[in-house]
Amino acid sequence: MCGIVGYVGSEKSLEVLLGGLKRLEYRGYDSAGVAIVDAAGELHTVKRAGKLSVLADELAAHPMANGSTGIGHTRWATHGGPTDRNAHPHLGDDGRLAVIHNGIIENFAPLKDELLAEGFSFTSETDTEVAAVLLGREFRATGSLQEAFRRVVARLEGAFTLLALHQDEPGVVVGARRNSPLVIGLGDGENFLGSDVAAFVEHTRRAVAIGQDQIVTITPNEVKVTDFDGNAVEVEAFEVAWDAAASEKGGWSSFMAKEISEEPDAVANTLRGRVLDGRVVIPELEAFGDDVLAGIDRITIIACGTAAYAGQVGRYAIEKWSRVPVEVELSHEFRYRDPVITPTTLVISISQSGETMDTLMAVKYAREAGARAISVCNTQGATIPRESDAVVYTHAGPEVAVASTKAFVAQITALYLFGLHLARVRGSLSEADQAEYVAELLAIPAKISHVLESSESIAQLAKWMSDSRAVLFLGRHVGYPIALEGALKLKELAYIHAEGFAAGELKHGPIALIEAGQPVFVIVPSPRGSAEMHKKVVSNIQEIRARGARIIAIAEQGDAAVLPFADEVVPIPLAAPMFEPFLAVIPLQIFAMELATAKGLDVDQPRNLAKSVTVE
């Protein structure tokens, strides 16, 4: 989950490292540090607990020597609290070697005992320092950082990306990865390493993804990749589809505000090139084969958090359109319950980063059991797409705020596209129905823009409710996962109790939570396309209103039946019932953001969270 960056090139390491860490801070902001080998061949390190700004202030007050070789780290704490001592880099070989690490080394304890028995000492509580000391010992034995790496990674268990430099090998940074992301940036007379391309996109858009159990050595003019046994590995470069400006705030008050404003484009970009003459054709699935898709008899969607709620929305559409049964599983539960998997099972994984460890391991498990796998992902060069048979990229652009917004609507778009693609392959929808649903989908970006343009009332409502201690969310059908997502956003950003419920469950227990003044958001389905559900939701509103709840209804424009019973109505544009989630979720995202802002909280970097969960 931590952010890592490495650089070799000209005498600007510090600037490159700090710039890369700034764009990677969404991955962890408990502490930060850098290590640089200066022009005289001396290793210097500075690290501080707290956000990156604390490190930047320290470097401004006490400048460190610059150099052409460096590594930097921003931390999400796993082993050991967020202190100066536990911050990375960690040192080995009597301070001549520095290591940074993303992941968890599961067998650190016996390795530490071995090193203690040999007389080595430790200054931190981290598993990373064990790797640093072990690497320093092996460097003394071999005189080669790359060979020392090869020996060390053979002994490590768990998930890790390690980067290291040694003052005896200036102009060299070595990295290794297992179950944790690492990407190379290819420059001219300089090369880069990073947790993702954001680390170096300011300097180059040419990148190479490192595969599982591989070691990379970069110098200013060379990149060498081997497997853990030392065998050379052929790599293939790709072009990053966005530039550094896309990962900057650009005048917005927060990255989250910026990314909410980009949701129309996120949907439009996910649709682009996949709709032809009123039909959906996903080019990335051509290699998969229509015959294989036609033979699928069950689909399992695996994801975590917000992505799982996108999967729940997609389930309704895929089942309705393709007539294939769909289940949605939390990735971290999926592989531990011995699921039934056959060669005709299709597993669809959803991960914005493509590095979510629970989801990655679930994909590997499913493929080993014989299932086919498709990933829905936003990040080029990520691990989960490489472990899948095919990938549908969302093209939403970089999402920096930890709480997901535009990635969520882009993931739903990709799932809807897949549902229509599968329905066409299976012949389960008429051409007229396909054309109708495609038209609805193509109209969504403009309708989201309309919601954004009329969001002032939600922002004001959030300010009025900033002292709320708990908020409930209700929905039916596709509105149910939107209720869950609305509650999650409020928990993530405002740190208050929030729960989402299926509205039909209200009388089966949750109604006991209702008391005078209790705020309840209700996602109201359209009366035009689902009259029966609409009546039931209005009945739910009456039930909780009778017990003193304060009702905030998300309802389509012109829904007069809701007006007498809701304290506040947030109107959304008319849309077919299956497409209302795109519109209903926007006010809930804005509400959570504005309420957190009113409380003086950091909406981009909520406490205890990180963007990419790369540990189990």
Residue 215 makes CB contacts below 8 A (sequence gap 6+) with: 146, 149, 150, 153, 174, 175, 176, 225, 226, 227, 228
Q: Going by DSSP bridges, is the β-strand pair 31-38/43-49 parallel, antiparallel, or unpaired?
A: antiparallel
- Which of 22, 364, 406, 611 does the annotation list as catalytic? 611
Tokens found for residue 163: 């980067």
Residue type, 568: E
Residue with tokens 């003193």: 548
2 is catalytic: yes
Residue 53 makes CB contacts below 8 A (sequence gap 6+) with: none
Residue type, 325: P
51 is catalytic: no
Residue type, 518: Q
Tokens found for residue 27: 């991955």
DSSP letters spanning 393-444: E-------SSS-SHHHHHHHHHHHHHHHHHHHHHT-S-HHHHHHHHHHHHHH
Q: Which ranges in 143-242 belong to alpha helices (H)? A: 145-153
Q: Is 20 helix (H, G, I), strand (E, B) or coil?
A: helix
Q: Is 555 helix (H, G, I), strand (E, B) or coil?
A: strand
Residue with tokens 């189990």: 616
Residue 294 makes CB contacts below 8 A (sequence gap 6+) with: 425, 426
- Which of 2, 112, 364, 447 does the annotation list as catalytic? 2
Question: Other C-beta atoms within 10 Å of 529: how many?
Answer: 16
DSSP letters spanning 568-609: EEEEE----GGGHHHHHHHHHHHHHHHHHHHTT--SSS-TT-
512 — alpha (psi -120 to 50), left (phi > 0) or beta?
alpha
Catalytic residues: 2, 611
